[in-house]
Amino acid sequence: MTVSVSESVPTQCSSAKDRAAREAATVELFEQRARTSDPVEQQVLLERIVELNLEIARGIAGRFRGRGVELEDLEQVAFLGLMKAATNYRLDAETPFIGYAVPTIRGEVRRYFRDSAWTVRIPRRLQELQGLVSAKLPDLEQELGREPSTEELAEYLEVEAEEIEQALAAKGCFNTLSLDRPADDNGLSLAEVVPDEEDIAVSQLEAVDMLQPILEDLGPRERRILELRFIEGWTQSDIGAEIGVSQMQVSRLLRRTLTDLRERLSPMSVAA
């Protein structure tokens, strides 16, 4: 077993060079896995591939934080997505592993939200107070012969009235709605009317990682033109003066480069 090929590769990548090294090491591990028929060795190699690319999964999970689910839970889902991507990836696909893994992981996280994260999480203090209200409210109603006011309930439970209001307002937050539940008068289900919005930050992460190896294959002039046009915001005439060609030549080079990038990205979109 020759897994050591990737032991020196950084798992925390801060540059294009690091990411390229990680991708190359990942491919080599996949090649090792394809050459062996030993199930134990295949599993060891699969686990090494996952370990090498955990940063990708953590990055995607982090972009979904703050939506009512603990980051640790999101990371676990993202890790499962990474394992799924590593298990299903094929070397003969015209897609770098990163181009296959990112949409796979993102899909797992978004599916988790759609299937499992519809409950609203409230502080434990209010959860406990909800339970106390449910247990003691019948006794107070029987004692008063009517439904108590918020102030009376607060005095009975020896808590602040504001806390009672918060607990009552959060009542029902632990009930998960079925995605098959009718949502309107047109017969549409909840799943059909819930917006499936694209996360811009995750999309940018995916785009950068998928474009990186392709951009590195471009010549210095093509990369310079893209940098000046889309990063620096130069006009085609200014770019032409900078690199010593006419505005028309810049236009043709830019169009040809963008067409080539789109064509090379198309297989990735299909695979995703």
H helices present in 183-235, as ranges: 190-193, 200-215, 220-226
Q: What are the tokens at 4?
A: 């050591």
Report the distance separating Cα 111 and Cα 78, nearest Å: 11
Domain 218-271 maps to which CATH number in 1.10.3720.10, 3.30.930.10, 3.40.50.720, 1.10.10.10? 1.10.10.10
Task: Quote the pTM value.
Answer: 0.47
> Are 149 and 157 a contacting pair, CB within 8 Å?
no
The third-level CATH classification (topology) of the domain covering 3-116 is Four Helix Bundle (Hemerythrin (Met), subunit A) (1.20.120)
pLDDT at residue 259, rounded to an integer: 81
The pLDDT score that the predictor gives to residue 67 is: 67
The pLDDT value given to residue 8: 65
Instruction: Confirm whether 3-116 and 218-271 share one CATH topology.
Output: no
At residue 1, what is the residue type? M
Phi, psi torsion values for 184, nearest 5 degrees: -155, -175
Domain ranges within the chain, ordered by starting residue: 3-116, 124-193, 218-271
Please list the pLDDT of the chain residue by residue as tens digits (272 residues): 555 554 566 667 767 777 888 888 888 999 999 999 999 999 999 999 999 999 999 988 888 876 667 888 889 999 999 999 999 998 887 678 888 888 889 888 888 876 665 455 556 677 778 778 888 888 888 888 888 888 888 898 888 888 888 777 666 554 444 445 554 455 554 444 444 444 444 454 455 555 666 677 788 888 888 888 877 778 888 888 888 989 889 888 888 888 887 776 654 444 44
Q: At what angle do helices 161-169 and 150-157 cross, to 10 degrees?
A: 110
pLDDT for the residue 176: 46
CATH code of the domain occupying 124-193: 1.10.10
